[in-house]
Structure 1
Amino acid sequence: MTYVVTENCIQCKYTDCAEVCPVECFHEGPNFLVIDPDECIDCAACVPECPADAIFADDELPTGQKDFIAINARLGREWPVILRKKAALPDAEEWNGKANKRPLLVE
C-alpha cells in the first residue's frame, strides 16, 4: 500500500503534508503535489495534515480517483522533491472542494 494525492489538491497545493513526511516522498509541480510510491513508507503522517483532504491510501481511493495512482507515480519521477511547507496557491480556498479539476492539472 502507498498513499496517493488526488484531484482536490489541484489548484490548492497545500504543502503541510510535505513538511511532516519522514522520507521526502512528496514532489511539487506548478499546481499540484504528488507522492512517489517508491519512496512512500505508508506511515500516513501526511493524511491528517492535508487541509484539502486529498490524500488517501491507494486501496481506499474515492470513486473516480484511481487514475491518480499512475499520475502520482509518473510525476513523482519527474518533479522535484518538496521538503518544507510553502504558502498554498493564492486562491486555494476558492478551489478547495471543487470537482472536475483534472483538466487544470499543469504537468
Structure 2
Amino acid sequence: MSRSTLRCMLGFAIAGLAAACGDAQSTPGNDPMTRTAAKTVTWSDGKPAIQINCNMPGDCQTRAIAMCRESRGNYTVLAMDNMPTRGDATVVRGPASVVVRCA
C-alpha cells in the first residue's frame, strides 16, 4: 500500500472514532460528555418517562434527543425546572432538569 492510502485510511478511522465518541449516551445513567444524568421514572399517568438532570439546559435537550433516538429524536416535555423560556433565554440559571417521554 502506498503512504497516501494509509494516511487516508487512518484519517477515516480517526474521524469515525471522533464521531462515535461525540454522541450523547442513549441509555440511563451518567453521561460525562453532556454532564447529564438520566433515569426512567413513572409519570403521574402511570406510564414511563425519562428524567434528565443537567448543568446547562442545552445539555438536557442533547440528552433527550439521544435517549429518544429510536423515535428519531422526537419527544414530548412533561415537566421542566429551571429551563429558560422565550422571554428570559439569555439568563443563565444553572443546573436544570426535564422530564420527557419519547414520541
TM-score (norm: length of structure 1): 0.28
Bigger RCO (CA 8 Å, 6+ sep): 1
| Rg larger for | 2
**Bigger helix share:** 2
**Bigger strand share:** 2
